[in-house]
Chain A
Amino acid sequence: MISCNNISKHYEKISALKDVSFSANEGEIFGIIGPDGAGKTTLFRILTTLILPDAGSATVDGFDVVKDYKEIRKRVGYMPGRFSLYQDLTVEENLNFFATVFNTTIEENYQLIKDIYIQIEPFKTRKAGKLSGGMKQKLALSCALIHKPTVLFLDEPTTGVDAVSRKEFWEMLQKLKQQGITIIVSTPYMDEASLCDRIALIQNGSFLKIDTPDSIVRQFEKTLWTVKSDNMSKLLRDLRSIDGVESCFAFGDSHHTIVNETKISIEDIKALLEQKSHSKVEVSRTTPTVEDCFMELSRTAINGKE
């Protein structure tokens, strides 16, 4: 459905995308996961034909992003990161406008947006600028869907949205997927990775890895330990000062720690921590999250360059 081959893009001296390649299958939720400034939005703008790549090629639904941009624009729905509907038009006027631009009507494709739009329909005479954040998000999604696109591009749809609403948004995406729409979605929240069929981890304009979330987690080569004690901030410093501790970061209520066990055993680490007056020391093995994988992959990517 989407094929992206060796795409690069520069802005003056800054290299925003470096030789990026991936393909997304029809009906797939493909996540592009990485922090601000990683190149997510640049990639979206190239695939939605809003800017041109400096090098490389890409097709969307079989059409070339440079040559066939007019065809692509008919076929994709795009929800940019920043709210970009008309603030002084009402909810219904916005939706009507987007339907008209694409030569269709709200009625014709109502079935597709029904589940989402029904939640904001009671406010259809309200100006878009007066909606709450969550309602704006639902309206923007409705507008991106009203012409029945084959591919939906969602650029950080859940940024700044609370944990409950984020979950609801992902439930909506699963329903859209069932209707056969291919969804390319970017997010800085690593915990959303597991909700995608496949993900690309992106940092500094390059993909660190492309695979299913499960497979990325399985490929984590090291043993990951959770460490807890009664003084978590001191524990972080003390763990890092131990020779043989490769990395140590806070993860919720424990510290995720990678240990070079040829240098020091877990038992010795426990003993050392107790010497440093930690009590209630608990160490146990854990399964890495996508966030652990991202951190480890970006660490090795940076070290590899030096």
Chain B
Amino acid sequence: MQKEKVIIVEKLTKRFGQFVAVDNISFEVERGEIFGFLGANGAGKTTAMRMLCGLSIPTSGKGLVAGYDIHHQSELVKRNIGYMSQKFALYEDLTVAENIWVYGGIYGVPQKEIAKRTDELLQKLGFESERNALVKSLPLGWKQKLAFSVAIFHRPKIVFLDEPTGGVDPVTRRQFWEMIYDAADQGITAFVTTHYMDEAEYCNRVSIMVDGRIEALDSPQNLKKQFNAQDMDGVFQQLARNANSNGY
């Protein structure tokens, strides 16, 4: 049985003047897959991700995300994906419930439905007594969990996670990955960037970008075999050491 493809990218390219930030990349990601998007700083990850999220128009090539064309239907793309980064996640001066309300509203979830899902979510996270607490008063680990839950509140087909675990403690980092697994089990695709190489092992497949191109794409197991490396760090070091863009 062929699985539904939630990302289809063909020969996607982005130039800034003479500089080719993303150079002719092609790949597909399936529904419910955890896809690791790795690369050195400056390799083109952010530019590629911005195009996939409908925030930047490709110079050439094609991309379909959640069934919509990233060039001509970017508003529909934005409405049908979730996004979370370490830097921009939640409004610190709003309460837990208010944050959920804002995000639910922005993504067009009906008010009644927001109320219902908020109750379910707070119960699932064990956050009921924090409903009216300001987000800035929560421990970092809780914020991360809430931010992820908010990013998938409108039940998108795919969620983009840009270094979601930077700086969090080792236990919370792992609990966060368990939430990603849960979401994937429910059919939500996770598209993840990270600098923690052990986290690359938790992905179903991993792509590694070097100088704007995808130099490797496979399951962690196959990549380790292919590069004769003990772990994903070994694979990454081999590929990224050869990069031209010494400007990380």
| Chain A residues engaging chain B, CB cutoff 8 angstroms | 34-38, 119, 132-135, 159-167, 188-190, 203, 233, 236, 249-253, 291, 294-295, 298-299
Contacts and interface: CB of A to CB of B under 8 A. Distances in A.
A298 B41 contact: no
B233 A163 contact: yes
Contact of A164 (B172, B231, B240): B240
A134 B247 contact: yes
B16 interface: no
Interface of B: 39-42, 139-140, 163, 166-172, 174, 177-178, 181, 185, 195-198, 201-202, 220-221, 231-233, 236-237, 240-241, 243, 246-248
9 contacts: A36-B168, A132-B42, A134-B41, A164-B237, A167-B237, A190-B170, A250-B174, A252-B198, A294-B170
A164 B236 contact: yes
A35 B178 contact: no
Contacts of A162: 39-41, 195, 240, 248
A53 to B, nearest CB: 23
A132 B195 contact: no
Nearest to B139: A37
Contacts of A251: 198
A161 to B, nearest CB: 6
A185 to B, nearest CB: 15
Contacts of A236: 178
B198 A188 contact: no
Contacts of B237: 163-164, 167
A295 B40 contact: no
Contacts of B197: 163, 252
Nearest to B239: A164
Contacts of A134: 41-42, 246-248
Contacts of A295: 170-171
Contact of A165 (B40, B163, B201, B202): B40
Contact of A298 (B169, B178, B240): B169
Given A252-B201, A295-B171, A160 B40 contact: no
A291 B41 contact: no
Contacts of B168: 35-36, 188
Contacts of A38: 169
